[in-house]
Structure 1
Amino acid sequence: MNKKETFGERLLRKREELKLTQEQLAAKIGITRVTISKIEQDLTQSTRADTLLSLAKVLKCTPQWLLNGSGSEGTLANESNVVAGPPIYQFVPLVNWVQAGNWTDIAPQISFEDTELFPCPVKSAPGTFALRIQGDSMLPRFEEGDLIFVDPEKLDAENNKYIVAILEDSNEATFKQLQIIDGHKYLKALNPDYPPELKFLKINGNCKIIGTVIAHMKQV
């Protein structure tokens, strides 16, 4: 079985294909040669989103492919032909709902090279992750297949904020709106077709908030 190429190995290969020295590549994106050397040796734990985007641009490949080898190697679109999108602050892993329910334990073990990553459009904590919406409980605003970005450091959610939580009798996380009524906290499903007994779940020591939703990305 062929060993999967690492982020550092892909960077080294693309740099050599373009006949760039470490010094030349570093100068083009505004970092040090030592940083390039560490990335190529896979000695860095993470890479800033702006650095990754700059590397991909200079090396004529996509940031997703450069970081974890997913998708087509491709090239970035010509800047003159596209309209600038929102700024990217970091790439975050897409996890499943069981992983989200155990995020505190598994986050340090997540390998970014083996995980699908998505650009987070807002500033967020380093442990931020993405989830893909399942089911219809949060219709019409959140549709199945949409992405939500969850900041695990925002645990003191305010009234009407959207949160991801885990119930004591489940190993999967759930996504709902937090409602505080007369001092009592509830998890609310947005779907207007849900009956009251399914639409509101009172939080009474049976629920742990995992994080607050900070961004929402709909499918095209």
Structure 2
Amino acid sequence: MASTIDMDAVRRILLEATTGESGQSARGLSLAAGLNADAVRDILRGKSGQAKIDTLAALAKALKIDLSEFLGSGSVNVPLPVPNLEIDPPSPSFSGNAANFPNDVPIVGTAQGADFALEQDGLAVLIEQTEMMPGEIRGYTRRPPRISGNKAIYAMQVAGSSMEPRFEIGEVIYVDPRRIPGIGDYVVVQLRNGDDEVICAMVKRLARRNASTIELEQFNPQQRFSLKTCQVAAVHRVVPWSEMLG
């Protein structure tokens, strides 16, 4: 009898590999296996359905385990902890005179967060969001001359793929909390929790705004959705490179 793929066992093994202090990131494991950067994350979230055998073979090789550990006839009911989707913030590439820019723009802590569930036209929609730790500084990046006088600007790392191809996973963006964004600007939308503490944010494009709602757009997958202003703590404008270097 041919073995079947036990997706519970697959997720359990992948979770063990991507959680804990010694665990690598889901993105790192995907890339180590030669797969799409979101492959492991999609399996953990159940987005990929039944994983293909060649995908599992690549993951088994990267994990240095036997493929048979992903196969079986039964299923195991295990709790699914939050995987380690955090990635270390790289610095943007600077060369020539730009390498002499002050290295003092703080990079705030971010990590891939759980999807944000909302109702859109009577349907449940899951929107990618980012865990944000405003008080945790992961490092610093260069300050181009055009923003030398604005010490409020901070940087953050894009932790998800919902804005590809405009913003790639791992890309560092500069954010200005002082300048009011206009329609069509890219923004970081900070979300409230029950205690008014900012713990999550969304990197999106501002599509429309009024006194009661804010409409946002993402590219991957293509989606427009609305948030009530009471859910939003702040909307900060992403500073285009053309403004910083032009």
* TM-score normalised by L of structure 2: 0.41
Q: Which protein has the bigger helix share?
A: 1
* TM-score normalised by L of structure 1: 0.45
